[in-house]
Chains A and B, each alone.
Chain A
Amino acid sequence: MKKLINDPRDVLRESVEGFALAHSSIVEAHWDPTFISQRRPLPHSTVALVSGGGSGHEPLHGGFVGDGMLAAAVPGAMFTSPTPDQIDAAFHHADVGGGVVAIVKNYTGDVMNFEMAVELAQADGIDVRTVLVNDDVAVEDSTWTAGRRGVAGTVLVEKIAGAAAARGDDLETVVRIAEHVNANVRSMGVALSACTVPHAGVPSFDLGDDEIELGIGIHGEPGRRREKLSEADTITATLLEAITDDLALASGEQVLLFVNGMGGTPTSELYIVYRAAAELLSRAGVVVSRSLVGNYVTSLDMQGVSLSVLRLDDDMTSLWDAPVHTAALRW
């Protein structure tokens, strides 16, 4: 497997260094322990949003640090949750007296490390609240598993809650809005090929040339079901049906449709999926009033796509439209 890297052990450091250099007007990198923060300080008493997780999902989360979104992001090793001391340092740096909202994807490692970091920060008097994101409908029976995973919907939670914080909402309100977004967003992904972690050097699972993995997670772990490859419209319909059933979407409702690339899928293919999903939704009488298409929550070089649908209300829509200035998202 060919990789554009130097020493595999230096991938995280060199990647974060490059990111901070390229976007030096927006972010700065901190070392020992590693985290990324917004360069411009938040106004006093503003709620600070902090997120983090394993690396390999770029631009998540560092790419969403900046005005109107995250105050800090904590990258762990490749596909590995950051450690409590890293997260705690980011909490301390980000807090400007308004408290901190930690946005955590529901993965076992992320949950445990954030849990320990929250204990550490609270012991120092920082008011940290955790919002768990669990938008992945692929995980069907939560009593038999670690629960639904947090996947692409995380970006929507971070954008909308970030806009609420920038608007001056207090800690309780920002938490409530973040939870409200999470409650109204569902996602499901599919992989056409596995990804290769730099230090492993081999694909994270074996997938035949004519096979797809439905319900894929974002850490290169296999999904729930394997199928023969079919046409884009058929795969899109399968993903969308699982989402809309779970959301119980009704005719006349407004939604945000988000087609996310896993890293190795051409943008042209993402638009083919978007077209199919938008058509199906409109046929069901659902109004797609906002959209997002691109590689935002990736799994290294995985070929694949995830579909997210967020049921919108007026407040969420205006928070989505509010200005944002980060490396990966800006308007």
Chain B
Amino acid sequence: MLTNQWAVKWIAGCATSIHDHRSELSQLDRVIGDGDHGENLARGFAAVAQRLQENTPDTPADVLRMVATTLMSTVGGASGPLYGTAFLRAAKAIEGRDLDSLAVVDLLTAARDGTIFRGKAAVGEKTMVDAWAPAVDAAREAYDQGLPPDQVLSAAATGAALGARATTILQARKGRASYLGERSVGHKDPGATSTALILEAASQAAKNGEVS
């Protein structure tokens, strides 16, 4: 079972990882978008990390809800509403529940569905969904095999990373990259890349012993 401490570590880990990778994310965005994905997300997660330090919520659902509202009011662009909606739906999915393997699968599924709802994107359109969707599939598979939550998250992180890498060969059909048409092929999607970083942080936080 994952603890509240896991949720806190996950989000702190996101803030560190996004900060460390902000130039890489902006560089990816510069090629097929407008070059601000890293800076915008880093600004949002820095605000999240500060709020987390000032006032740590008591439950994982409250942690994720705080992440959602903070990202929505600080990030802007498309990433703000997309990640905001993903974390808000994720919070709702685990409200009042113990964080066992099934709850982790439900959390990830709700985040994926929230992203699809807000962005109206489908799999294969070179967006965040192309990281969320394989993450959910891999997590579901790990759960079906009876694996514990930390291994469900590890599978999700691997699925997201592979999905993000596979966006390189896709042609963008949503967001600003879609205006490039075929010229968007051959470049990795910055949104899918940041989603993979966020899920890698979730997995790392679980590995570091935040399991009771």
**Which residues of A are interface residues toward B (Cβ below 8 A)?**
33, 54, 76-86, 107-109, 112-113, 115-116, 138-139, 144-146, 149, 197, 199-200, 202, 204-205, 215, 217, 219-224
B121 CB → nearest A CB, Å: 9
Given contacts A76-B76, A83-B80, A200-B35, 12 further A-B contacts (CB under 8 A): A54-B76, A79-B36, A80-B76, A81-B76, A83-B72, A113-B80, A115-B81, A144-B181, A145-B181, A146-B176, A204-B30, A221-B179
Q: Are the CB atoms of A83 and B75 closer together than 8 Å?
A: yes
CB-contacts of B117-175 with A (<8 A):
118-119, 171, 173-175
Q: Per a CB cutoff under 8 Å, which of B80, B118, B179 touches A224?
A: B179
If A84-B72, A109-B78 touch, whether A222 touches B173 (CB-CB below 8 Å) is no
**Residues from chain B with Cβ under 8 Å of A149 in the complex:** 179
Q: Are the CB atoms of A204 and B176 closer together than 8 Å?
A: no
- A and B contact pairs by CB, cutoff 8 A, 11 listed: A109-B81, A112-B82, A116-B84, A145-B173, A145-B181, A146-B174, A197-B36, A200-B26, A202-B30, A221-B180, A223-B179
> What separation, in Å, do the CA atoms of A220 and B179 have in the docked complex?
12
Q: Are the CB atoms of A112 and B176 closer together than 8 Å?
A: no
> What separation, in Å, do the CA atoms of A42 and B176 have in the docked complex?
36
* B13: interface (CB < 8 Å): no
> What separation, in Å, do the CA atoms of A223 and B78 have in the docked complex?
19
* B51: interface (CB < 8 Å): no
> What separation, in Å, do the CA atoms of A146 and B74 have in the docked complex?
24
Q: Closest 4 CB pairs between A and B?
A: A145-B178, A112-B81, A109-B78, A109-B77
* B34: interface (CB < 8 Å): yes
Q: Are the CB atoms of A219 and B81 closer together than 8 Å?
A: no
> What separation, in Å, do the CA atoms of A215 and B181 have in the docked complex?
12
Q: For B30, give the chain A residue with the smallest CB separation.
A: A204
**Residues from chain B with Cβ under 8 Å of A219 in the complex:** 34, 176
Q: Are the CB atoms of B30 and A77 closer together than 8 Å?
A: no
Q: Are the CB atoms of A116 and B81 closer together than 8 Å?
A: yes
> What separation, in Å, do the CA atoms of A197 and B26 have in the docked complex?
12
Q: Per a CB cutoff under 8 Å, which of B74, B78, B171 touches A112?
A: B78
Q: For B76, give the chain A residue with the smallest CB separation.
A: A80
Binary interface encoding of chain B residues 51-90 relative to chain A, with 1 for a CB under 8 A from any of its CBs, else 0: 0000000000000000000001111111111101000000
* B39: interface (CB < 8 Å): yes
**Residues from chain B with Cβ under 8 Å of A215 in the complex:** 179
**Residues from chain A with Cβ under 8 Å of B73 in the complex:** 33, 83-86
* B40: interface (CB < 8 Å): yes
* B190: interface (CB < 8 Å): no
Q: Are the CB atoms of B180 and A197 closer together than 8 Å?
A: no
> What separation, in Å, do the CA atoms of A146 and B30 have in the docked complex?
18
> What separation, in Å, do the CA atoms of A174 and B61 have in the docked complex?
43
Q: Per a CB cutoff under 8 Å, which of A77, A107, A199 touches B176?
A: A107
If A83-B73, A84-B72 touch, whether A200 touches B178 (CB-CB below 8 Å) is no
> What separation, in Å, do the CA atoms of A219 and B33 have in the docked complex?
9
**Residues from chain A with Cβ under 8 Å of B79 in the complex:** 109
> What separation, in Å, do the CA atoms of A235 and B86 have in the docked complex?
44
**Residues from chain B with Cβ under 8 Å of A83 in the complex:** 72-76, 80
B43 CB → nearest A CB, Å: 8
Q: Are the CB atoms of B118 and A112 closer together than 8 Å?
A: yes
Q: Per a CB cutoff under 8 Å, which of B40, B78, B81, B176 touches A84?
A: B81
Q: Per a CB cutoff under 8 Å, which of A76, A85, A146 touches B72?
A: A85
> What separation, in Å, do the CA atoms of A28 and B30 have in the docked complex?
34
Q: Per a CB cutoff under 8 Å, which of A85, A108, A112, A222 touches B180?
A: A222
> What separation, in Å, do the CA atoms of A138 and B171 have in the docked complex?
18
> What separation, in Å, do the CA atoms of A113 and B80 have in the docked complex?
8
> What separation, in Å, do the CA atoms of A205 and B184 have in the docked complex?
13
**Residues from chain B with Cβ under 8 Å of A107 in the complex:** 176
**Residues from chain A with Cβ under 8 Å of B35 in the complex:** 197, 200, 204, 220
Q: Are the CB atoms of A80 and B77 closer together than 8 Å?
A: yes
A201 CB → nearest B CB, Å: 10
> What separation, in Å, do the CA atoms of A80 and B34 have in the docked complex?
9
Q: Per a CB cutoff under 8 Å, which of B26, B171, B176 touches A221?
A: B176
Q: Per a CB cutoff under 8 Å, which of B76, B82, B84, B119 touches A82?
A: B76
A11 CB → nearest B CB, Å: 12
